[in-house]
Structure 1
Amino acid sequence: MTVAASVRWIGLTQAVRFASQMLSLIVLARLLPADAYGLMAMAMTVTNLAFLFRDLGTMVAIIQRPHLSESLKSSLYWLNLGLALLLAVLLAALALPLAAAYYEARLAALLAVLALVFPLSGLAAVQQALLERASRFRLLARIETVSALGGVAVALTAAAYGVGVWSLVLQMLAATGLASLQLLRASPWRPRRRCTWRALRQVLDFSGHFAAFQMLNYVQRNADSMLIGRLLGPMLLGVYAMAFKVVLFPLQHISNVASRALLPAMSRCQHDPGRLAEMYLRASGMMALLTAPLMTGLYALREPFVLLMLGPAWSAVGTLVPWLAALGLIQAQATIPASVLLARGRARGMLGLGLFGAALQLAGFAVALRWGLSGMAAAYCLSSLLALLPLTRCALDGLPLRLGALLAEVGKPLAAALVMLVAVMALHQRLAARGAGMAAAFWLCVAAGALVYLGMLLAMRVRQLDGLLALRGARP
Structure 2
Amino acid sequence: MAPTQGVKTITTNVGWSVLSKTATFGLKFVTVPILARLLTPEDFGSVAVALTVVQFLAMIGGAGLTSALIVDRDGGMDTVHTVFWSNLAMAVAMALILFFGAEGIGTWMGAAQSANLLKIMAFLIPLQLTADVAYSLLARQMNFSKDAILSTVSETSAALLALALAFAGFGVWALVVQLFAAALIRLVGLFSITRYMPRFVIKPDRMMPLLRYSSGLMGSEMANFVTFQAPMVVIARVLTLADAGAYSAANRFASIPNQVVLSAVMGVLFPAFSMMGDDRKRRSDALIFSTQVMTVILAPAMFGLWAVAEPAMLILFGPQWAYAWPVLGLLALSKAIVTPCSTFIPYLKGTGHSQVLFWSAVLRAIATTIGIGGAAYYGNLVDAMVALCVVNAITLVGYSWAVFRVDGIPFWWGMLTSSRSMITSLIMGVAVRLFLHAFADQLTSPYLQLFAGAVVGGVIYAVLFFATERALVRKVLGMVKRRRGGAAADAPAA
With normalisation by structure 2, the TM-score equals: 0.89
Q: Which amino acid aligns with 1:402?
A: P
2:476 is equivalent to residue 467 of structure 1: yes
User: Residues of 2 paired with 1:32 and 1:80: CA distance?
Assistant: 35
Q: Which amino acid aligns with 1:392?
A: S
Residues 51-86 of structure 1: CA deviation (Å, up to 9, x unaligned): 211311112112223532222222111111222222
Q: Which amino acid aligns with 1:437?
A: S
Cα contact 1:300–1:424 (8 A) shared by 2: yes
Cα contact 1:239–1:316 (8 A) shared by 2: no
Cα contact 1:320–1:377 (8 A) shared by 2: yes
User: Residues of 2 paired with 1:162 and 1:277: CA distance?
Assistant: 53
What's the counterpart of residue 376 of structure 1?
A: 384
How far 1:322 moved relative to its partner?
4.2
What's the counterpart of residue 335 of structure 1?
A: 342
SS for the counterpart of 2:61 is coil
Residues 195-242 of structure 1: CA deviation (Å, up to 9, x unaligned): 111000011022012112111222222222212212322111111222
What's the counterpart of residue 296 of structure 2?
A: 289
User: Residues of 2 paired with 1:83 and 1:300: CA distance?
Assistant: 45
With normalisation by structure 1, the TM-score equals: 0.93
What's the counterpart of residue 456 of structure 1?
A: 464
Correspondences of 1:80-229 after superposition (within 5 Å): 80-102=87-109, 104-229=111-236
User: Residues of 2 paired with 1:81 and 1:301: CA distance?
Assistant: 46
How far 1:415 moved relative to its partner?
3.5
How far 1:366 moved relative to its partner?
3.9
Q: Which amino acid aligns with 2:286?
A: M
How far 1:262 moved relative to its partner?
0.8
Cα contact 1:73–1:126 (8 A) shared by 2: yes
Residues 419-453 of structure 1: CA deviation (Å, up to 9, x unaligned): 42244334434554225532134223313322321
How far 1:166 moved relative to its partner?
0.6
Distance verdict in 2 for CA 1:138–1:460, change over 3 Å: same
RMSD between aligned residues: 2.3
Q: Which amino acid aligns with 2:380?
A: G
2:436 is equivalent to residue 428 of structure 1: yes
Distance verdict in 2 for CA 1:108–1:466, change over 3 Å: farther
How far 1:276 moved relative to its partner?
0.3
- The partner residue of 2:278 within 271, 274, 279 is 271
2:420 is equivalent to residue 412 of structure 1: yes
Residues 370-425 of structure 1: CA deviation (Å, up to 9, x unaligned): 11112211222222332343333332235343223322323431233234224433
What's the counterpart of residue 320 of structure 1?
A: 327
What's the counterpart of residue 61 of structure 1?
A: 68
User: Residues of 2 paired with 1:271 and 1:221: CA distance?
Assistant: 32
User: Residues of 2 paired with 1:426 and 1:377: CA distance?
Assistant: 21
| More displaced 10-residue stretch of structure 1: 276-285 or 54-63 | 54-63
User: Residues of 1 paired with 2:74 and 2:344: CA distance?
Assistant: 23
What's the counterpart of residue 410 of structure 2?
A: 402
How far 1:301 moved relative to its partner?
0.9
| More displaced 10-residue stretch of structure 1: 269-278 or 86-95 | 86-95
User: Residues of 2 paired with 1:193 and 1:444: CA distance?
Assistant: 62
SS for the counterpart of 2:397 is helix
SS for the counterpart of 1:135 is coil
Residues 16-53 of structure 1: CA deviation (Å, up to 9, x unaligned): 23322222111111111111111112212211211211
Cα contact 1:4–1:469 (8 A) shared by 2: no
2:47 is equivalent to residue 3 of structure 1: no
- The partner residue of 1:15 within 10, 22, 25 is 22
Distance verdict in 2 for CA 1:440–1:390, change over 3 Å: closer
Q: Which sections of structure 2, spanning at least 5 residues, go unmatched?
A: 1-7, 483-494
| More displaced 10-residue stretch of structure 1: 406-415 or 97-106 | 97-106
Q: Which sections of structure 1, spanning at least 5 residues, go unmatched?
A: none
User: Residues of 1 paired with 2:315 and 2:221: CA distance?
Assistant: 36
Identity, % of aligned pairs? Answer: 24
How far 1:284 moved relative to its partner?
1.0
Distance verdict in 2 for CA 1:365–1:415, change over 3 Å: closer
If asked which structure has higher relative contact order (CA below 8 Å, sep 6+), I would say 1
Distance verdict in 2 for CA 1:445–1:359, change over 3 Å: closer
The total of aligned residue pairs comes to 472
Distance verdict in 2 for CA 1:422–1:328, change over 3 Å: closer
User: Residues of 1 paired with 2:43 and 2:478: CA distance?
Assistant: 40
User: Residues of 1 paired with 2:413 and 2:207: CA distance?
Assistant: 41
What's the counterpart of residue 38 of structure 2?
A: 31
User: Residues of 2 paired with 1:105 and 1:116: CA distance?
Assistant: 19
User: Residues of 2 paired with 1:470 and 1:107: CA distance?
Assistant: 51
